A = this chain, B = another copy of it.
C-alpha cells in the first residue's frame, strides 16, 4: 500500500539522474517523447487515440500507459494496433523515471519516432518528475471548469502545450474560454493552447501538426 508525502531531495535527485540517461537514449535514437498530464476523465486516452490516428502514417508510435491499477487504457491502445506497455504504479500518484526505464527497455527505440506516456490521472504529483521526455503536455477538459489554472498552477507552468478537450460540450457547461486562456497565458505565455474534441476529431489536425513539427525537429 504505497502512499505519498512531501518529497525529499534524494528521491528527486535519483529520479533526475535516470531521466537524464533516458533523455540521452531518446536523443541518440531520434525518438520524441511526450508526457501527457491531466485529471482522471479529461480524455487522455481518447486524445492519444486521436493523435495516433493523425500521425501513424508518418511516424512509428508506441504508448506507455501509467495507471494506479488496471490495464483498460493499454487494452484500448492495443485494440487500435499500436504497441502499448502498461505500468501499474501500485498506488503511487505519478510515474517516475525508473518506471519509464523499465518500460523503454522492452521497446525497440531504433524503430520508433514517438513515444507517448500517459501519466497517472493527477494534476499535482506528476508535475515535478522528469521522465526524460521532450515535452509535458497538459490536457484540461471543458467539464472540469475554467478556474483550474488558478487552482493547479504548477501543471500549467511546466506544460509545453495545453490541450483543451471536449470543446464540443461548451454549450452545456458554464466555461469562460477567455478567462481560461487568460489564466493559462499569465502562468505560461509561451505554451500554445489547442481546443479539441478528441472523440469527434475537432481540432485534432492543428494539435497533431504542432506535435509532428516537434517530432521532426529531433529526427
- On A, residues with C-beta under 8 Å from B are 1-8, 11-12, 39-42, 67-70, 72-73, 91-94, 120-125, 128-129, 140-141, 143-145, 147-148, 150-154, 166, 169, 172-174, 199
Number of identical protomers: 2
Given contacts A40-B123, A121-B123, contact A151 B70 (CB under 8 A): yes
| B4, A91: Cβ atoms closer than 8 Å | no
21 contacts between A and B (CB under 8 A): A3-B6, A3-B12, A3-B125, A3-B129, A4-B125, A39-B40, A39-B144, A40-B148, A41-B141, A41-B148, A69-B150, A69-B152, A72-B150, A93-B93, A93-B122, A93-B125, A121-B123, A141-B143, A143-B169, A169-B172, A174-B199
Taken together as a complex, chains A and B put the C-alpha atoms of A4 and B124 apart, in Å, by 9
The interface residues of chain A, by DSSP majority, are classed as: loop
Residue of B nearest to A128 (CB): B3
Nearest neighbor of A7 in chain B, beta-carbon distance: B3
A123: nearest chain-B partner, CB-CB: B40
Bound Cα distance from A28 to B81, whole angstroms: 60
- Pick from B7, B169, B173: contact of A5, CB below 8 A: B7
* Chain B neighbourhood of A150, CB < 8 A: 69-70, 72
| In the complex, chain B residues whose CB is within 8 Å of the CB of A92 | 5-6, 124
Q: A3-B129, A40-B145 are in contact. List 5 more A-B contacts (CB 8 A).
A: A3-B12, A40-B152, A41-B144, A69-B151, A143-B144
